[in-house]
Amino acid sequence: MTRLHNELDLDAYWLPFTANRAFKANPRLIVSASGTRCRTDDGRELLDGMSGLWCCNAGHSHPRIVEAIRRQAAELDYAMAFQLGHPTAFRLAERLAAMAPADLNAVFFTNSGSESVDTALKIALAYHHARGESSRTRFVGRERGYHGAGFGGTSVGGIGNNRKAFGAHLPDVVHLPQTHDLEHQAFSRGQPTWGAHLADELERIVAVNHPSTIAAVIVEPFAGSAGVLVPPVGYLERLREITTRHGILLIFDEVITAFGRLGTAFAAQRFGTVPDIVTVAKGITGGAVPMGAVLVRDEVREAIVDAARDPIEFFHGYTYSGHPLASAAAMAALDVYEEEGLFDRARRLEGVLEDALHGLADKRNVVDIRNIGLAGAVELRPRNGAPGARGGEAFGAAFDRGVLVRATGDIIAVAPPLVALEEEVETIASVLGGALDDLD
């Protein structure tokens, strides 16, 4: 079969977060997908070990979601988003609020994780402003955190490569230390027992800067992009305790962790820790239509709304906030999660993934394996003088053997769709193991 890309001019499309020159020399194209499988332009079938990119939690092109989008597109493609609404967005907001823990009852819609993060940061600033604490403008992020590609998210993010070309970013950001430690945590199953004390660094940051300057702390419950860095037992609880004590808002960036990745609707439920603001995207629609949302506790919204002198209480939003197609896709995705019991299923598959991944411990160059929920990572020793090369080659070798994983430097991440069969979860790990055997 001729490869589709032979007929394509690859020049104009500038791919995101991609080695464009290498890609265009050896393009990999997906032309269709269904359930846990994707098909390439040269007719090969791949098992999707990454749920798209942490988003297709219900598998690809779930008929229920496809039909909901189709019907919504025919009925109402778009309704003005400012000073006007449409029913599906209200239903979705109500449903998300009901799924969320505690009083995370206000839902602000966006179109991506990056927009959710920027929105959450602005809500935090507006909250303190409304309460007469305008000096609280500083944000605390974390080393190796990823919060999207907006200026806000890049600023609180802790990945040097994502920041180096873009100047000063938000002026007032401090970073907590990251939580992963090979010496104390290597080959942990689930949450490592060592490391809760790393949250105490927040006390030092608060003391040095004074609480009255700090608006919010933002962390991913587990860091996804950096390679599945699992929070130590007690760590998130301690962040909650310190932030509460100092009047600082706690934001959980749940773009990856919400909608079943951890066997619960939100990581906040899995870890028994309720933040003030939660950002989501990705799995909210099962990846079928772009959408994000920010869930906000009653007190935070009320402070902003009650203090407003303008009729418009919060000067922020997007043309496509609560877009009808996205809202319809999200309602259908939530139906699928519920009716197919996918969050419980993720919980059941967690042990299967854990055993399968940790079975790779003796493979060459493996320095760590870690997992939580339906996510895991295998960390490889970097090749001398060529960091990231081994990870990239592992991705390529797994692809050639029929499984999609994700390489971030020398860390291989996997996050199977929640609909995956036990055998498929095992296949993802065994194929990755075979790929590792291919590498020097």
146 binds ligand PXG (CB under 6 A): yes
Between CA 428 and CA 66, with CA 57 as vertex, the angle to 5 degrees is 120
378 binds ligand PXG (CB under 6 A): no
The piece of 128-136, 146-154, 371-379, 428-436 that touches ligand PXG (CB under 6 A) is: 146-154
Q: Strand 104-110: give its sheet, edge to edge.
A: 104-110, 292-297, 277-280, 249-253, 214-219, 138-142, 173-176
Of 130 and 323, CB closest to ligand PXG: 323
The piece of 143-151, 166-174, 178-186, 240-248 that touches ligand PXG (CB under 6 A) is: 143-151
Of 147 and 390, CB closest to ligand PXG: 147
Tokens of 392: 């990239």
Place of tokens 């493609």: 77
Q: For residue 178, which of 146, 210, 136 has the smallest C-alpha distance? A: 146
| HEC sequence for 82-100 | CCCCCHHHHHHHHHHHHHC
329 binds ligand PXG (CB under 6 A): no
The piece of 106-114, 294-302, 312-320, 372-380 that touches ligand PXG (CB under 6 A) is: 106-114
Q: Of the candidates 148, 232, 260, 376, which one interacts with ligand PXG according to CB under 6 A? A: 148
Closest contact distance (angstroms) between CB of 227 and ligand PXG is 8
**Which 222-241 positions form the footprint of ligand PXG (CB under 6 A)?**
224-225
Neighbours of 177 (CB within 10 A): 15
The count of chain residues that interact with ligand PXG, using the rule CB under 6 A, is: 19
155 binds ligand PXG (CB under 6 A): no
Of 113 and 376, CB closest to ligand PXG: 113
252 binds ligand PXG (CB under 6 A): no
255 binds ligand PXG (CB under 6 A): yes
DSSP 398: H
Query: 277: which strand partners?
Result: 251, 296
In angstroms, rounded to a whole number, what is the distance separating the alpha carbons of residues 352 and 370? 13
369 binds ligand PXG (CB under 6 A): no
The piece of 191-199, 218-226, 348-356, 358-366 that touches ligand PXG (CB under 6 A) is: 218-226
373 binds ligand PXG (CB under 6 A): no
Q: Of the candidates 4, 30, 33, 53, which one interacts with ligand PXG according to CB under 6 A? A: 53
Q: Of the candidates 35, 113, 141, 324, which one interacts with ligand PXG according to CB under 6 A? A: 113
C-beta of residue 170 within 8 angstroms of C-beta of residue 151: yes
263 binds ligand PXG (CB under 6 A): no
- Pattern of binders to ligand PXG over 280-319, x per CB under 6 A? -x--------------------------------------
Long-range contact list for 29-33, CB < 8 A, 24+ apart?
29/3, 29/4, 29/5, 31/4, 33/60, 33/61
147 binds ligand PXG (CB under 6 A): yes
Long-range contact list for 181-187, CB < 8 A, 24+ apart?
182/367, 182/368, 182/379, 185/232, 185/368, 185/370, 186/367, 186/368, 187/358, 187/361, 187/368, 187/369, 187/370
The one-letter amino acid code at 305 reads V
In angstroms, rounded to a whole number, what is the distance separating the alpha carbons of residues 112 and 253? 12
Neighbours of 368 (CB within 10 A): 20
Q: Of the candidates 48, 118, 253, 368, which one interacts with ligand PXG according to CB under 6 A? A: 253
The piece of 6-14, 87-95, 142-150, 331-339 that touches ligand PXG (CB under 6 A) is: 142-150
Closest contact distance (angstroms) between CB of 313 and ligand PXG is 25
In angstroms, rounded to a whole number, what is the distance separating the alpha carbons of residues 293 and 96? 9
Q: For residue 177, which of 158, 160, 151 has the smallest C-alpha distance? A: 158
Q: Of the candidates 36, 188, 408, 427, which one interacts with ligand PXG according to CB under 6 A? A: 408
Positions in the binding site for ligand PXG (CB under 6 A): 53-54, 112-114, 117, 146-148, 153, 220, 224-225, 253, 255-256, 281, 406, 408
